[in-house]
């Protein structure tokens, strides 16, 4: 094992000689005869593992040197032992308050010096090992969290794809609406109405939940779900049950979990209430205004915009501009007015998202083109 490096700092040549001779057999020893020189040597290789620092020096005192050492990231963790002829308790307290690990008074006794150095080197090594272990543990925790989030994402997509296999919508609809919801959340996070609830973490959870908005369609009969023409009143009544069916399914998944799963709370809100209208004329519960959960209000606009610009077996896509006009017309009736304003502010980004994740179209025809 490479011996530890000790930097001895003292303006007295005799003290430097005595200390260097004492330590030479066990350690690599470097010497500085001033505070300024010590600060230079601390940054040179081999970096010291411990500093023996005289307090009373001309130009720059040991206390001043220690303050500089503690300010610099490269040297703040190096243990420093003061050596001094001062014996007042106040001087010792001052040195320890500045960050010194120990205080040895002169005349120096070799056995005491060696014992203190050995003790503080061992403590320093123990602290370094603990920092490494903590860093490795933190890396492992972060890795597990990333893995868990990936599993969540895959599970969400798998469930959403299951619903998709029974619907006319495409997987790109899931990608687009998820991105729209995220964009609206980011646009609104500094708005006075929403800043207390829309932080980055919450926005991420809502966006992660968005692909489950129509999971309840799994329970809708094919003859209704895949019907190419208008639905009868009775068929429409059945179709509207998908909102509650989806929320109920997510609630059952919640109850099966051993502990709360944060994103499922938003997934349930979105599935249940993304067809509610701001004026109370939506379904399934006829909620109005702020009684509609915020996550569902974000999803409502995202879902309608995408439904307008997308091709379905029962309709052709409409242009982005016309879809924007329809959303604006629904301000204060279908949609939360402030969410519509956020949509208008980031309309160009909505269009970019739609183009990035567009569905395949017949030759020469772009979905949602102007």
CA distances from 250 to 177, 241, 283, 339 (A): 19, 14, 18, 26
In whole angstroms, give the CA distance from residue 1 to residue 188. 58
H or E segment to which residue 251 belongs? helix 242-256
In whole angstroms, give the CA distance from residue 166 to residue 219. 9
> pLDDT digits over 127-151, tens only?
989 989 998 888 888 887 777 766 6
pLDDT at residue 174, as a whole number: 87
Q: Is the pLDDT of residue 33 over 60?
A: yes
Pick one of 3.90.1300.10, 1.20.810.10, 3.40.50.720, 3.40.50.2300 as the CATH number of 5-136.
Answer: 3.40.50.2300
In whole angstroms, give the CA distance from residue 229 to residue 244. 24
pLDDT at residue 338, as a whole number: 98
Environment class of 200 (CB within 10 Å of its CB; exposed 0-12, middle 13-18, buried 19+): exposed
Q: Which CATH superfamily is domain 165-356 in?
A: Hypothetical protein af1432 (1.10.3210.10)
Q: pTM value?
A: 0.61
In DSSP terms, 80 is beta-bridged to 51
Q: Is the pLDDT of residue 283 over 80?
A: yes
Q: Report CA Rg, the chain.
A: 34
Contacts of 290 (CB under 8 A, 6+ apart): none
- Pick from 32, 24, 25: nearest CA to 8: 32
Average pLDDT taken over every residue of the chain: 88
Indicate where the chain has its CATH 3.40.50.2300 domain(s): 5-136
> pLDDT digits over 303-346, tens only?
999 999 988 766 789 999 999 999 999 999 999 999 999 999 99
Indicate where the chain has its CATH 1.10.3210.10 domain(s): 165-356
Residue that has been written with the tokens 């007295």 in this structure: 12
């Amino acid at each position: 094992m490479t011996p530890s490096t000790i930097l001895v700092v003292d303006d007295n040549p005799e003290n430097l000689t005595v200390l260097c001779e004492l330590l030479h057999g066990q350690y690599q020893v470097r010497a500085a005869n001033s505070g300024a020189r010590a600060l230079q040597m601390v940054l040179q290789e081999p970096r010291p593992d411990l500093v023996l620092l005289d307090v009373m020096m001309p130009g720059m005192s040991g206390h001043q040197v220690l303050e500089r050492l503690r300010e610099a990231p490269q040297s703040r963790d190096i243990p420093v032992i003061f050596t001094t002829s001062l014996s007042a308790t106040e001087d010792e307290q001052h040195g320890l308050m500045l960050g010194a690990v120990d205080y040895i008074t002169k005349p120096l006794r070799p056995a005491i010096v060696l014992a203190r150095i050995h003790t503080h080197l061992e403590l320093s090594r123990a602290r370094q090992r603990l920092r490494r272990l903590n860093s490795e543990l933190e890396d492992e925790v972060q890795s597990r969290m990333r893995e868990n989030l990936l599993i969540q994402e895959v599970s969400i997509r798998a469930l959403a794809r299951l619903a998709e296999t029974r619907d006319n919508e495409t997987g790109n609809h899931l990608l687009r609406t998820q991105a729209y919801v995220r964009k609206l959340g980011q646009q609104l996070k500094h708005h006075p109405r929403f800043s207390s609830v829309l932080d980055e973490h919450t926005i991420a959870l809502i966006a992660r939940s968005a692909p489950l908005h129509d999971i309840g369609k799994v329970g809708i009969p094919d003859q209704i779900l895949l019907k190419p023409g208008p639905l009868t009143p009775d068929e429409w009544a059945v179709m509207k049950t998908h909102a509650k069916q989806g929320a109920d399914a997510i609630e059952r998944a919640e109850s099966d979990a051993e502990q709360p799963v944060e994103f499922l709370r938003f997934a349930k809100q979105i599935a249940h209430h993304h067809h509610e209208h701001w004026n109370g004329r939506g379904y399934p519960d006829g909620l109005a205004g702020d009684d509609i959960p915020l996550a569902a209000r974000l999803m409502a606009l995202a879902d309608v915009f995408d439904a307008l610009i997308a091709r379905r077996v029962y309709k052709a896509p409409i242009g982005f501009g016309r879809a924007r006009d329809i959303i604006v017309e629904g301000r204060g009736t279908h949609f939360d007015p402030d969410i519509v304003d956020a949509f208008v502010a980031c309309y160009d980004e909505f269009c970019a998202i739609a183009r990035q994740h567009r569905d395949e179209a017949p030759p020469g025809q772009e979905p949602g083109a102007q």
